[in-house]
Amino acid sequence: MKFLSSLLTLMSFSAYGSAYLELGGGVQHRMLDGDNGNYKSNQSLATEASIGYRFENFDLALDGLYTYGRQKDFSYNYAGVTSNDEFNWHSVSVGPTLKYHIKSQSGTWAWAPFAGVFYNHTSLDNSGKLTDSTTGLKEDNSHKAWGYGGKLGVQFTQFKPESKILESVNYKIYGSYTKYRGTEGNYIIGGALREYDGDTPDNLTDVSVGFLVSFSFGDKLYQKAKTKLGLN
């Protein structure tokens, strides 16, 4: 109860704006590039959660985006050893986003160009095993990569004055660029199992475009929760 009271108190600071929670999902198309030059694109399912504060003309949010897809024919090169396989590609990006709101004449729709930066962590998982022929040691044929990037896009907002808890429905189109800076993975050389941990091979980059539909919750939900908890 104390936690909920503190959270509601934090959300009530609305002299200059209002806090909100935004939840949504959609699709993303990823295009990989690098020195290898033999990468294929993939399609991913995407989910996003944002916690932000809306002012009169702009808002600042912390966005978390998770995407999942199947990466086919992914080639990687560790210490001169090149392998090719298919992986389940899990990617998480977290970072701040700034939006500038432009209202329509009707007042029911608005659109907002936005820009953001993020940290990215990607995991490539495969059910295969790598086996050291000398020791018999086995390791998962999986890899991890981290990096950073930026995004640009536009969000179209449809306000929902008739809803008791929902502030708006949002439609977001964006493009993003990620530069991977570090990689961890296992590989076999001469029958022996080795582990790579260093700079990302092939100078791997990711250019993605995506579409998301999200739902915003803010002051309406805050007021309803206050009433329910008897905090009015």
Which of 71, 80, 85, 82 has the alpha carbon at shortest distance from 32? 71
Q: Is residue 118 part of a domain?
A: yes
d(CA 210, CA 157): 17
Q: Residue 136 sits in a domain of what CATH number?
A: 2.40.160
Q: Is residue 154 part of a domain?
A: no
16 — phi, psi (to 5°)? -115, -5
Q: How many residues are given for the chain?
A: 232
Q: Is residue 156 part of a domain?
A: no
d(CA 108, CA 170): 12
Residue 206 structural domain = 2-6+24-76+91-149+161-229
Name the pTM for this structure.
Answer: 0.85
Q: Is residue 12 part of a domain?
A: no
Question: What is the DSSP annotation of 75-131?
Answer: EEEETTEEEEEEEEEEEEEEEEEEEE-EE-SSSSEEEEEEEEEEEEEEEEE-S-EEE
What mean pLDDT do residues 128-132 have?
A: 81
Burial of 206 per CB tally in 10 Å (0-12, 13-18, 19+): buried
Per-residue pLDDT at 16: 46
Per-residue pLDDT at 73: 78
pLDDT above 90 (res 104): no
Q: How far is CA 173 from CA 59, 126, 153, 170, 194, in A?
A: 17, 31, 6, 10, 42
pLDDT above 80 (res 225): no
d(CA 48, CA 92): 10
The sign of the dihedral angle between the CA atoms of 132, 138, 142, 144 is negative
pLDDT above 70 (res 9): no
Report residue 54's pLDDT band, with 50, 70 and 90 as the boundaries.
confident
Q: Is residue 171 part of a domain?
A: yes
Region of poorest pLDDT, from 41-50, 59-68, 221-230: 221-230
Of residues 165 and 121, more confidence is placed in 121
d(CA 11, CA 3): 12
What mean pLDDT do residues 209-223 have?
A: 86
Region of poorest pLDDT, from 2-6, 73-77, 184-188, 222-226: 2-6
Q: Is residue 19 part of a domain?
A: no
Question: What is the DSSP annotation of 207-219?
Answer: EEEEEEEEEEE-H
Q: Is residue 124 part of a domain?
A: yes
d(CA 119, CA 116): 11
Q: Is residue 82 part of a domain?
A: no
Give the total number of structural domains in the chain.
1
218 — phi, psi (to 5°)? -155, -115
